[in-house]
Amino acid sequence: MKNLITAFFLLLLVGEANAQTKFFTKTGYAKFYSEAPLEDIEAINNKVQSIIDIEKSEVAINVPITAFQFENSLMQEHFNENYLESEKWPMAAFSGYFVSDGVIDINRNGVYEVRVKGKMTIHGVTKPMDTVGSIKVDNNKVVAKTSFMVKVADYDIEIPTIVFKNIAEEVEVTVELKYLPFKS
Amino acid sequence: MKYTYTIMLLLFMLQLRAQDNDLMALLNDNTEDPVIYAEATFKGSRLINGHTVQTRKAKAFEFLISHRFGRLNSGAYELFGIDGANIRLGFEYGLSDRITIGLGRNSFEKTFDTFFKLKLLRQSKGRKVMPISLAYLTSAALKSLKGQEGFNTTASKLVYTHQLLIARKFSSLFSMQLMPTLVHRNQILEDQENSDVYALGVGGRLKMSQRISLNAEYYYRFDVPEADTNYNSIAVGVDIETGGHVFQLHLTNSRSMIEKGFITETSGDFFNGDVHFGFNVSRVF
């Protein structure tokens, strides 16, 4: 009996380490969209890095700020130089977990609604974050999608009054991450 | 034996607890450091009179209007120089992120100018380290003022400038630039002695706030002939940035706004009050 219990605990410790449940991408997509009276501003990033652990329901995301591409190059410069200060804080990050509406089976195709919770860091400021999204399993690949609003002032990003009508106080962020199995 | 279970259970819980950070650590281990390029070493394509290392991004179009008024010490009759304004209209275009071309027309001596600027090195840190930004600038100026004695052919009225722009953004507040320069005049007047003028410029900017910076610029000429009564160009100014515009207000002893003019033909003595108020307004489309 004692041996059995010992074996059970050992399995708990060792067993899960071997299962392939982690998925990885470094070409994830993120977009931010600002809608203001004078102009709508959009920027697209195709270099989002992320690891998702399906079994443990955890996810970590890194977003290189300088990889956001604007149509107007001067806006891109101001975004990096005046607002996000990417030289000081080159990455935005998210680290947290998700709760799905059913057990995600990576061997069967399907789409799951998920609730995502964790901590998001932008411009050197870390805030709790809570949103909804979806996880799709498609032939041993995983696609995660979410979209949420970010209040610019929450992350100590100052918008001077002179461009108040050009930049929204809240911007919409859309994320789509196409993962492949992680090989360590 | 009881303790063994307790320890194992603790270990298991620890493992659960540690995972939150582990995944981020794993992600960081599996991604490369980004290369962080120094953006906006200077706010504009001009420091004051001369060029900065900044090039326009591909397909960006810049319209630059520059004014230099008359001398402040010309007195109330000339409204301290405001009556005698020189204007330069400039059109600049980014062929690529590294190449900018431009055309300008100056009211001073009715001069046309054109330039080509090539960014050779970009200052960066992170995965790739490069301590400086480097650009090469070449420009040509053609004085089209009628009745120039001794300058009969178009070729004789041409002046070329070659310049290296070596810049470093030391911090988000402070940037500096060195500008070794060669000005070549196709034809010269007798007292000018040499058709080539070598000069070294030095300039910098100090940011006062996110949108306002203080700038200064100085060009030292080497081996100036005794008969040459010109002075070295000195300029101090302020940059004010508002969205798509950069306003530059400055005081300088130079009347001309192009390289050959302010480097080799600055006739004012800054410290004697021969100072021109001027501004550049830049709009990028």
Q: Which residues of B touch A86 (CB under 8 A)?
A: 36, 39
Task: Kindly report the three-state secondary structure assignment for every residue of chain B.
Answer: CHHHHHHHHHHHHHHHHHHHHHHHHHHHHCCCCCEEECCCCCCCCECCCCECCCCCCCCCEEEEEEEEEEEHHHCHHHHHHCCCCEEEEEEEEECCCCEEEEEEEECHHHEEEEEEEEEEECCEEECCCECCEEEEEEEEEEECCCCCCCCCCCHHHEEEEEEEEEEEECCCCEEEEEEEEEEEECCCCHHHCCCEEEEEEEEEEEECCCCEEEEEEEEEECCCCCCCCCCCCEEEEEEEEECCEEEEEEEECCCCCCHHHHHHCCCCCHHHCCCEEEEEEEEEC
Closest-CA distance, B280 to chain A, in angstroms, reads 18
In this prediction, the answer to ipTM > 0.90 reads no
Q: Does A12 score more than 90 pLDDT? A: no
A70 and chain B in contact, CB less than 8 A: no
Domain ranges of chain B: 1-31, 36-284
B23/A66 Cβ within 8 A: no
B24/A95 Cβ within 8 A: yes
pLDDT of residue B13: 62
Q: Which of A2, A53, A74, A184 to mutate to test the interface with B (most CBs of B within 10 A)?
A: A74
**pLDDT tens column, A83-115:** 898 888 989 999 999 998 888 888 889 999 999
- CATH number for A30-181: choose from 3.30.460.10, 3.40.50.300, 3.10.20.600, 2.40.128.110: 2.40.128.110
Closest-CA distance, B214 to chain A, in angstroms, reads 17
The chain-wide mean pLDDT, for chain B, equals 88
Of B202 and B285, which is predicted with more confidence? B202
B26/A81 Cβ within 8 A: no
**pLDDT tens column, B263-283:** 999 999 999 989 999 999 988
CA triple B86-B89-B92, angle to 5 deg? 145
Task: Tell me how far the alpha carbon of residue B280 is from its chain's centroid.
Answer: 12
User: Chain A to chain B, count of Cβ pairs less than 8 Å apart?
Assistant: 100
Q: Does B9 score more than 70 pLDDT? A: no
Q: Which residues of A touch B21 (CB under 8 A)?
A: 95
Domain ranges of chain A: 30-181
CATH fold for the domain made of B36-284:
Porin (2.40.160)
Task: Tell me how far the alpha carbon of residue A114 is from its chain's centroid.
Answer: 13
**Residue A64: closest CA among A41, A87, A38:** A87
Residue A27's CB: how many other CB atoms inside 10 A?
12
Q: Which of B5, B10, B31 to mutate to test the interface with A (most CBs of A within 10 A)?
A: B31
- Name which of B11, B36, B57 is nearest A73 (Cβ-Cβ): B57
